[in-house]
Amino acid sequence: MNLMNLMKYKNLFVAIAVGAMVLSIALWIGKGLNYGIEFTGGTNIRYPLAQRVTSTEVRTALDTPALKALDLELSPPQPYNYLDPETGAQKHGVLIQTRFINQEEQEQILKAMEAAFGPLADEAALQINQVEPIIGKELLLNAIYAVLLAWAFMLVYIAIRFELKSGVVGLVALIHDVLLIIGIFALLGKEVNLNFVAAVLTIIGYSINNTIVIFDRIRENLKTKKRTETYEEIANLSLLQSMRRSLNTSITTVLAVLVLYLLGSPAIKDFMLALLIGLTVGTYSSLFLATPLWTFWKSGEEKKGRPGKMATATGK
């Protein structure tokens, strides 16, 4: 029985992943990230409107002498649409981001918006969130620690369950996933906040699960490995055996998240976008990055005559 040989494209698979990682790092450095107020400190005002507006119109409305004197450090306003959960009707709003401001300064912003666009369209939909700068810096450090700890725990877990090489290539795949999410958010200028961190941690867990499924198949196939079989053949067989399951699981999950992204409230849209990106790149990295990297490593050992723990062949 002739099996499709996906591993003959392993160089291409790894090159695509490495290229995407390099591009993501370049975008991260070049454009930077749009950190939310949770990390920078400041005030977010979600202001509901009766009609669609543009960012320029909102900035013009806030360009009054009184507000200029306050030096609000205003970010570009972000218009958005959302569905009313009760009526299902489409509604409009705009996100206004400033430095940390007091109650009086908030009132001045609301008065300027009312003067330009009329009274509040829906008072219940008005949201004002604030974070002090010193707390924002602490939250940013905690978010970084959370991601690093997640990576460390995944490395240790896979190293114990399989072998250190599997843990290392699994970690590389996770770093690939996180970098691509960061790169796309940098490219789109999307806000990086605590929801983003939650999405990243979710993807780390989801992606490593797909990788573990493939490594488990590799371990089972190694038990019956014949001396004439190469590690590339074992990896290819394991990948083919796992790919349908991984793709089916990922596609159904992506469809569910896509519905929430399209129909959900503005508060969760960026979270769902991060999940969509992570689910897609995570599936790729599990199938076409972790597996080829493991193949390169084990094939190199095989040529040197130094098989590792998972390399024991019981077949003849």
Domain harbouring 23, CATH code? 1.20.1640.10
Give the range with max mean pLDDT: 15-29, 252-266, 288-302. Answer: 15-29
Residues 264 and 175 placed together within one structural domain of the fold = yes
pLDDT reported for residue 125: 78
Looking at residues 236-264, what average pLDDT do you find?
92
Query: Is residue 150 in a domain?
Result: yes
pLDDT (0 to 100) of residue 307: 54
- High-pLDDT (> 70) share of the chain, %: 94
Taking CA atoms, 270 is separated from 207, 263, 277, in Å, by 19, 12, 11
Residue 105, burial from CB neighbour count under 10 angstroms (0-12, 13-18, 19+)? middle
Average pLDDT, the chain: 88
More confident residue, 302 or 292: 292
Expressed as residue numbers, the domain containing 92 is: 42-130
Q: What is the pLDDT of residue 306?
A: 57
The verdict on 79 and 160 lying in the same domain is no
Strand pairing report for 90-98 and 34-35: unpaired
pLDDT tens-digit readout, 193-210: 889 999 999 999 999 989
DSSP 8-class letter at 92: E
Last residue of a domain, one of 99, 130, 161: 130
Is the same domain home to 19 and 155? yes
Mean pLDDT within 225-253: 91
Cross-strand partners of 46:
95, 127
Specify the pTM: 0.77
Q: What string of DSSP letters covers 184-252? A: HHHHHT-EESHHHHHHHHHHHHHHHHHHHHHHHHHHHHHTT--TT--HHHHHHHHHHHHHHHHHHHHHH
CA distances from 273 to 185, 201, 214, 225 (A): 9, 14, 26, 42
